[in-house]
Structure 1
């Protein structure tokens, strides 16, 4: 059974990133975001940090799965969030912009086979120009927030409206572009609900913050330096607890979250963020509730 109606419902089952075989064949490496220009992380560091991440999850009673090895031609399986997402009781299999990421979904097919198929529960975009990535979609309070960004286009938003508009209020969000001086890769790098009615936000990444955010959340504002360190990219275990980076620039945000009555578990997590993704990017929840 798969299920997700909120980013903050209790996490029960999740796929996390696979660090094994990372960058096994550098010949297939593709620059997928600006952060990678500063260098790729080392596998021993990835192992240590992902093992710590997994332990926190399993200690919290979460069932943890890992993608199967796809092959040398997929050099990075660290961030499964982008390849798909559970929306309600259906699984959206995304269409990725970057060539090297389009085969990552094969690593989770084993888990998708377990989804009941008495109705079409796996939704796949039917156009090769319909681009959607899971990091651009957040689900909360009956809303499906979807960013038009570097990786999700207006055709992708229209597809989500067609598929899920009867169940959720689709809220399109325009992210500022690289040309506008903002390197926000996905929506979850500039917005993330926490707790019952709190949210982290990097307002400069939005062309306009929608009323569904302004009216429904007490906002904890993240500055540009904190956003660069992915302070918004936390993972909620429940409304009462999150996982966040143990990093000097993230600590002030973590302290503000604690003031909202939410427990923050801080973990050293520096390797994956060097590729542009933190805890939310490195996790694909299959069941919350």
Structure 2
């Protein structure tokens, strides 16, 4: 049996579910696009090719193998995008929570059932249907659970709004001893540069006391200020609108001092090295065209 253990974003990783780009299916139609960035590339004819995405994911797999991380992959579903495992579930402490994702993505959960079968069934749960919550919006930090949400009255009109306030309330109920802090995120159906699809599109902690942040990803200045107060401005790497578009905050930590990052993120990678991080640089720019990057395509199960 797998003994799940996730208490933060940066402790030494031992086991992870890495998505797959094999048998990814044809380029979606404009009507099928889930997010404005995919839409942009579908229209431009630059949507990523399966062969390139497989190569990028293999590179990430190789980094995990280098650090002796146990890697699980989803079972292959024909013509199905299974890259972004972070969307379909997440672990808090020793509990696996299945996400209520978009109905057409339900098959992706079935593809990891063989993993869930190795977890104590009392430690696998699924929120009621009205509760929306996705792993990209959930981050553990010390006594906190950070949750990205969207508080606009037009929530139901936004396919980019993935975690609702009912989802925040659900986590408060499940983990009453944790401090739950929600963040109201900026959303756009048409401009990827103004769309924080998940919290990890505009913020992520790294190391013991640092973070990557995009100030204008938050609808409320007070939410941004909360993080500045908590981490200290000097410990936060502020990214630009264009860097947010390229997913600079969506790196992935293997340990408190080891970060996997996109090789083109020069400014960020230099900052990380200046702060004594080991940076494992890989190419992930094709996958980024779907408004997801390294954190989005991983679902950590066990950290020390």
Q: Give the TM-score of the pair, scaled to structure 1.
A: 0.92
CA distance in 1, matches of 2:282, 2:27: 29
Report if aligned partners of 1:19, 1:78 keep a CA contact under 8 Å in 2: yes
**What is the match of residue 110 of structure 1?**
114
CA distance in 1, matches of 2:13, 2:217: 28
CA distance in 1, matches of 2:132, 2:78: 23
SS in 1 for 2:32: coil
**What is the match of residue 53 of structure 1?**
60
| Superimposed CA distance per residue, residues 48-87 of structure 1 (whole angstroms, 9 cap, x where no aligned partner) | 1111110011111111110012344xx2100000100010
CA distance in 1, matches of 2:281, 2:27: 32
Instruction: Structure 2: give runs of 5+ residues left out of the alignment.
Output: 151-160
CA distance in 1, matches of 2:266, 2:188: 27
**What is the match of residue 192 of structure 1?**
204
> Residues 49 and 31 from structure 1, CA distance in 2 versus in 1: closer, same or farther, beyond 3 angstroms?
same
Instruction: Structure 1: give runs of 5+ residues left out of the alignment.
Output: none
Pairs within 5 Å for 1:43-192? 43-72=50-79, 75-96=80-101, 98-117=102-121, 120-126=122-128, 128-149=129-150, 150-166=161-177, 168-178=178-188, 182-192=194-204
SS in 2 for 1:215: helix
Residue 33 (str. 1) matches residue 44 (str. 2): no
**What is the match of residue 204 of structure 1?**
216
> What is the aligned-residue RMSD (CA, Å)?
2.0
Q: Give the TM-score of the pair, scaled to structure 2.
A: 0.87
Residue 215 (str. 1) matches residue 217 (str. 2): no
Shift of 1:90: 0.5
Higher helix share: 2
SS in 1 for 2:132: coil
Shift of 1:211: 5.9
Which runs of 4 or more aligned residues in structure 1 lie more than 4 Å from their structure 2 counterparts after TM superposition? 24-27
Shift of 1:176: 1.7
Shift of 1:177: 2.5
**What is the match of residue 154 of structure 2?**
none
SS in 1 for 2:183: strand
CA distance in 2, matches of 1:165, 1:172: 15
CA distance in 2, matches of 1:76, 1:220: 32
SS in 2 for 1:178: coil
Shift of 1:271: 1.7
Question: 226-235 or 43-52, which moves further after superposition?
Answer: 43-52
SS in 2 for 1:36: helix
CA distance in 2, matches of 1:260, 1:209: 25
> Residues 115 and 13 from structure 1, CA distance in 2 versus in 1: closer, same or farther, beyond 3 angstroms?
same
CA distance in 2, matches of 1:227, 1:24: 27
CA distance in 2, matches of 1:64, 1:5: 19
